[in-house]
Amino acid sequence: MADTINLTFINVSDDSEMDVEVSSDMTREELVENLIQVEFIPPLSSENEEYGLTIKGKGELGEGQTLADLAVQAGDRVRIAVVQRGGAAHAENRF
């Protein structure tokens, strides 16, 4: 059975904070979906973007990873920011 933990999410784009009680078996994708639903973060506008979640002192929550996988504990702070996926597109110069 998963533990319930209290975390503080920090939206890097506007420095807003929100305290949330979540299950330790939630994945990055589930967390992002819930944060969008409560309008803490906006839906992404580009397929080349994704939300990155970084837990202070523990690293980045990867695709499919749960909070328990990173040993996230009550009171931890989670920074959420838009990041570019994969490599940058190559642009041609035209004159």
With respect to residue 91, please indicate whether it lies within any of the assigned structural domains: no
Distance of alpha carbon 53 from alpha carbon 77, whole angstroms: 10
With respect to residue 89, please indicate whether it lies within any of the assigned structural domains: no
pLDDT, average across residues 25-30: 97
With respect to residue 11, please indicate whether it lies within any of the assigned structural domains: yes
* Cα-based angle 76, 82, 87 (whole degrees, multiple of 5): 120
User: For 34, which DSSP code?
Assistant: H
Number of domains in the chain: 1
Supply the pLDDT for residue 84.
Answer: 84
CATH, residue 31: 3.10.20.90
With respect to residue 92, please indicate whether it lies within any of the assigned structural domains: no
With respect to residue 41, please indicate whether it lies within any of the assigned structural domains: yes
Q: Which domain holds residue 69?
A: 4-84
Supply the pLDDT for residue 46.
Answer: 87
With respect to residue 71, please indicate whether it lies within any of the assigned structural domains: yes
Residues of the chain with pLDDT > 90, as a percent, come to: 78
Whether the pLDDT of residue 35 is over 80: the answer is yes
With respect to residue 51, please indicate whether it lies within any of the assigned structural domains: yes
Whether the pLDDT of residue 86 is over 60: the answer is yes
* Cα-based angle 40, 46, 49 (whole degrees, multiple of 5): 70
With respect to residue 94, please indicate whether it lies within any of the assigned structural domains: no
The answer to whether 22 touches 7, Cβ cutoff 8 Å, is: yes
* Burial of 32 per CB tally in 10 Å (0-12, 13-18, 19+): buried
Q: List pLDDT tens digits, range 43-82.
A: 998 889 999 999 989 999 999 999 999 999 999 999 999 9
Nearest to 6 by CA among 95, 90, 52, 73: 73
